[in-house]
């Protein structure tokens, strides 16, 4: 995709990402904002996103985020980032669908494409990696580079997960040429945890259960605990990855209660099980090794439903 050709000469541009924005989503939204600001100096560029965590407040555009999703007019161009399906952009869907031109850029294997034009690259580590390739050098600057670096770092577990490939490092080579402190970004947005976040992690690990002969591990936080710790969804980031680090485990499951008998489920696989496929049975999606969905029932109901699909995949893998 040639992003600037597709965008044309817009006077108004809207940008959004997925609900409960993660590092890649935040990096992609603010990176695109900083980049398009350099390209279209006179355009009115708006950002629509659920409130991103304060750790990202160093990124250009953070103070410009509109969390109301209210806009009276029609956008010339509206861009959705890091979003596997239209449902993932939440209340921005009307603005996206109502725009003169809607553009999607994403890397989820479960994404079938939506909007007028889309660029979906499931082999890319992150949406920010794709953007690094799409963005033209003459409009790049340190603000764009910092945002894209943040996104790549988050979706690759700081350049570690199997989604990290030669193209990821080629993108990073382009970004680190700009003058910023990359380790400060990964320390302050990825590794550092608040006291409460560490307590939630500790509690989940302590109460986790191992099943399917040690090949599956699951942990959860219920509403009572969330209220006690005054936890938000962003406080759970990284817990599922720590569960996954248990020796012998093929699939790690973490969930937290979003309502009465309603859970947001996160899954991570070490490769044998395609968790995007497991999630798809429950209306979710994601990547082969990292996926999620929303499910109803008790913790044990949800586990039972997921286990059927995980077990089936493990059995066919073992044969
Ligand atoms: P998470 O476990 O929330 O970190 O998400 C892991 C991956 O799965 C991310 O790339 C998400 O975008 C994707 N994902 C999580 N939940 C859903 C969902 N309900 N529908 C589609 N994709 C999801
Ligand atoms: Mn994301
Ligand atoms: Mn992503």
* Interval between CA 243 and ligand 1 midpoint (Å): 17
Check if 89 has its Cβ closer than 6 Å to any atom of ligand 1: no
pLDDT computed for residue 207 by the predictor: 98
- Give residue-wise pLDDT tens across range 258-280: 999 999 999 999 999 999 999 99
Contact 31/131 with Cβ under 8 angstroms?
Answer: yes
302-306 long-range contacts, CB within 8 A, separation 24+: 302/255, 302/263, 302/265, 303/211, 303/218, 303/253, 306/253, 306/265, 306/267, 306/278, 306/282
Contact 262/293 with Cβ under 8 angstroms?
Answer: no
Q: Determine which residue's CA is closest to atom 20 belonging to ligand 1.
A: 284
Contact 106/82 with Cβ under 8 angstroms?
Answer: yes
What domains does the chain contain, in order, with CATH numbers? Answer: 3-191 (3.90.1640.10), 195-318 (3.10.310.30)
Residue 301, classed as helix, strand or coil, is helix
- Is a pLDDT exceeding 90 seen at residue 176? yes
The owner of tokens 């690759």 is 156
- Is a pLDDT exceeding 90 seen at residue 292? yes
Check if 17 has its Cβ closer than 6 Å to any atom of ligand 1: no
Check if 309 has its Cβ closer than 6 Å to any atom of ligand 1: no
- Is a pLDDT exceeding 90 seen at residue 91? yes
pLDDT computed for residue 318 by the predictor: 85
**DSSP assigned state of 236:** G
Residue 283's pLDDT band (cuts 50, 70, 90): very high
- Give residue-wise pLDDT tens across range 21-34: 999 999 999 999 99
Contact 181/189 with Cβ under 8 angstroms?
Answer: no
Mean pLDDT of 103-117: 97
> Is the torsion defined by CA of 161, 162, 164, 166 positive or negative?
positive
The owner of tokens 């160093």 is 58
- Is a pLDDT exceeding 90 seen at residue 151? yes
Rg of the chain taking only CA atoms, in angstroms: 19
* Interval between CA 276 and ligand 1 midpoint (Å): 9
Q: Which atom of ligand 1 is nearest to the CA of 155?
A: 10
Residue 154's pLDDT band (cuts 50, 70, 90): very high
* Interval between CA 127 and ligand 3 midpoint (Å): 5
Angle (CA) 151 36 69, round 5°: 75
Contact 102/7 with Cβ under 8 angstroms?
Answer: no
Rounded Cα distance between 290 and 242, Å, is 13
Q: Determine which residue's CA is closest to atom 12 belonging to ligand 1.
A: 286
Q: Determine which residue's CA is closest to atom 7 belonging to ligand 1.
A: 291
Mean pLDDT of 37-62: 98
Angle (CA) 128 53 169, round 5°: 25
Helices 142-155, 127-134: inter-axial angle, 10-degree rounding? 150
Percent of the chain with pLDDT over 90: 99
Check if 293 has its Cβ closer than 6 Å to any atom of ligand 1: yes
pLDDT computed for residue 8 by the predictor: 98
- Give residue-wise pLDDT tens across range 193-222: 999 999 999 999 999 999 999 999 999 999
- Is a pLDDT exceeding 90 seen at residue 66? yes
The owner of tokens 């089936």 is 312
Q: How many residues does the chain have?
A: 319
Residues 6+ apart with CB under 8 A from 299: 218, 220, 222, 255, 263
Adjacent-strand bridge partners of 265: 255, 293
Contact 149/180 with Cβ under 8 angstroms?
Answer: yes
Residue 228's pLDDT band (cuts 50, 70, 90): very high
pLDDT computed for residue 319 by the predictor: 83
- Is a pLDDT exceeding 90 seen at residue 80? yes
Check if 145 has its Cβ closer than 6 Å to any atom of ligand 1: no
Adjacent-strand bridge partners of 256: 221, 264
**pTM given for the model:** 0.94
> Is the torsion defined by CA of 113, 267, 189, 18 positive or negative?
positive
What number of other Cβ atoms are within 10 A of residue 216's Cβ? 25
């Amino acid at each position: 995709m040639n992003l600037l050709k597709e965008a044309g000469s817009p006077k108004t541009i809207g940008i959004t990402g997925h609900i409960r924005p993660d590092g890649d989503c935040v990096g992609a939204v603010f990176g695109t904002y900083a980049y398009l600001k350099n390209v279209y100096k006179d355009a009115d560029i708006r950002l629509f996103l659920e409130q991103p965590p304060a750790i990202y407040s160093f990124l250009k555009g953070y103070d410009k985020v509109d969390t109301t999703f209210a806009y009276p007019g029609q956008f010339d161009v509206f861009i959705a980032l890091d979003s596997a399906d239209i449902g993932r952009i939440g209340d921005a869907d009307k603005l996206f669908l109502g725009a003169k031109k809607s553009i999607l850029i994403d890397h989820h294997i479960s994404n079938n494409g939506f909007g007028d034009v889309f660029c979906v690259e499931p082999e890319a580590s992150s949406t920010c990696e794709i953007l690094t390739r799409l963005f033209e050098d003459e409009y790049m600057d340190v603000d764009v580079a910092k945002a894209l670096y943040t996104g790549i770092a988050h979706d690759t577990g700081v350049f570690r997960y199997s989604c990290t490939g030669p193209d990821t490092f080629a993108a990073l080579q382009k970004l680190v040429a700009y003058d910023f402190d990359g380790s400060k970004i990964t320390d302050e947005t990825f590794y550092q945890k608040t006291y409460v976040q560490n307590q939630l992690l500790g509690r989940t690990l302590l109460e986790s259960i191992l099943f399917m002969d040690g090949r599956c591990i699951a942990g959860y936080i219920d509403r009572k605990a969330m209220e006690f710790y005054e936890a938000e969804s962003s406080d759970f980031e990284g817990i599922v990855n720590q569960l996954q680090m248990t020796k012998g485990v093929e699939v790690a499951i973490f969930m937290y209660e979003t309502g009465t008998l309603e859970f947001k489920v996160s899954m991570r696989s070490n490769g044998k099980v395609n968790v995007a496929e497991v999630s798809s049975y429950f209306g979710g999606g994601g990547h082969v090794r990292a996926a999620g969905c929303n499910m109803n029932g008790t913790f044990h109901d949800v586990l039972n439903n997921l286990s059927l699909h995980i077990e089936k995949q493990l059995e066919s893998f073992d044969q």
